[in-house]
Structure 1
Amino acid sequence: MKFKLRQTFTIFFQKKRILLPLIGATLLILCAGCESDRSASPGTDSVSSVPGEKPSLKIADWRYVEQLITDQQGKIVVVDLWSTSCPPCLREFPDLVSLQNQFPKKVVCVSFNCDYFGGKNYPPEYYREPVEKFLTKHKAFMTNLISNVPAEELFPTLDLAAMPATYVYDRQGKLAKRFDNERREYGKEGYTYQRDVIPFVKSLLRTDPLKQ
């Protein structure tokens, strides 16, 4: 019995010496796989997770926009009035971003959010988080503003009935065209950036005497 017991322990430790390196190698492979999975997590947003890569967002009024247009003379300025509750606005927003990316040195795009409606318990700052989330999703690296004037007060001063609306200013800072669909001139679906706004901006870039 003593011989058999000693033999059993000997065989056990011999097997253990063989198994330990195999177990160690297996653990290393599993750990490497876990690290790889973490670095390639599908839930990671490359824009919001990198410091300094979040789109800027400022609360301002229309006078700020007018001053910005004056300061940007020499460039085409496109101001888009939009809201997170306006489906056509959301549909066209990616093409506003595309326009800015296409002409980063010649065109200045401004997104002017009009979610604020003047509710006592919902100041302009209340809308920052959802608007910022939307801008980050679409990588909207441009001038982004939230109106601090309720839409129902702002629109009459602009002689505007409703959104969406896009203002295009030439290089002299003059309003070249306002896109809206108050007269149904763009059909039931309204104007689009691809069909209407971008071609118009390109025409200004071709004909404007202050080409860069």
Structure 2
Amino acid sequence: MQFNLRQTFTIFFQKKRILLALSGVTLLFLHTGCHSESLDQKRSDAPSESSVQKPALKIADWRYVEEVVADNQGKIVVVDLWSTSCPPCLREFPDLVTLQKEYPTEVLCVSFNCDYFGGKNYPPEYYRKPVEKFLTEQKAYMRNIISNVPAEELFPTLDLASMPATYVYDRQGKLAKRFDNERREYGKEGYTYQRDVIPFVESMLKTDALKQ
């Protein structure tokens, strides 16, 4: 039996090409699989929108706030009136959150949103999504309320001209102080939590501690 040397080399190289092609396909498949697994892992590690804890949010009036204050006697209650259209309110809001985190058992912070202005096509529920988004970003895990009374009706009943405003109630449920800037006593920029509200609350806590 005679062997054709050229034919033998041709067959050898053809088999080699096939093996190289198969190897290339296998490596491509493995690389694609690993890459896909890596992307899947990244997706699973990234927090989904549904997994982010949203702060509780209730639609109610000021009477509900008074009920909350009455039900939490024994704690100092801080009620913050704010709006997403009020820059000073938004600037101070993180310090309200900080106050709640600093004194989780002795102080109860309540955010009372006043975005609702009484428009026929914009009921209080309309503001839930943007308010909830802001509260989630701020991690405001406290009592959060959207007013169901238009601001122009609410403010006269509170003898209040505008926001921001912060009400501080003592442990007996009585109003200890209202922070606003209607008389310009806090200067042009108004009161702040760091300079005014938090020191006032802490002084109340110290006074209560001395009485015990």
TM-score by length of 2: 0.89
Equivalent AA in structure 1 for residue 79 of structure 2: V
Counterpart-to-counterpart distance in 2, 1:203 and 1:15: 80
- Pick one of 14, 19, 30 that aligns with 2:19: 14
Counterpart-to-counterpart distance in 1, 2:148 and 2:194: 30
Does residue 125 (structure 1) correspond to residue 122 (structure 2)? The answer is no
Runs of 4+ in 1 over 4 A off after TM superposition: 209-212
Q: Return the offset for 1:21.
A: 5.0
Secondary structure in structure 2 of the residue aligned to 1:55: coil
Q: Is the 8 A contact 1:205 1:211 kept in 2?
A: no
The equivalent of 1:135 in structure 2 is 135
The equivalent of 1:159 in structure 2 is 159
Root mean square deviation of aligned Cα: 2.1
Counterpart-to-counterpart distance in 2, 1:172 and 1:36: 53
Q: Return the offset for 1:11.
A: 1.2
Counterpart-to-counterpart distance in 2, 1:10 and 1:151: 84
Larger Rg: 2
How far does the alpha carbon of each residue in 1:18-74 deviate from its partner, in whole angstroms, 9 at most, with x for none?
Answer: 445533442343223312432455xx46xx5327x2101111000000011000000
The equivalent of 1:67 in structure 2 is 67
The equivalent of 2:38 in structure 1 is 33
How far does the alpha carbon of each residue in 1:144-181 deviate from its partner, in whole angstroms, 9 at most, with x for none?
Answer: 00111111111011110000000000000000100001
Counterpart-to-counterpart distance in 1, 2:211 and 2:163: 31
Structure 1 unaligned blocks of 5 or more: none
Q: Please list, as runs of the form range in 1=range in 2, the aligned pairs for 1:29-178 lying within 5 A after superposition.
A: 29-41=34-46, 44=47, 48-50=49-51, 53-178=53-178
Summarize the Cα distance change of 1:211–1:82 in structure 2 as closer, same or farther, 3 Å threshold. farther
More divergent stretch after superposition (154-163 vs 20-29): 20-29
Equivalent AA in structure 2 for residue 144 of structure 1: N
TM-score by length of 1: 0.89
Structure 2 unaligned blocks of 5 or more: 1-5
Q: Tell me how many residue pairs correspond in the alignment.
A: 207
Identity of aligned residues (%): 67
Counterpart-to-counterpart distance in 2, 1:38 and 1:110: 36
Counterpart-to-counterpart distance in 2, 1:160 and 1:151: 10
The equivalent of 2:3 in structure 1 is none
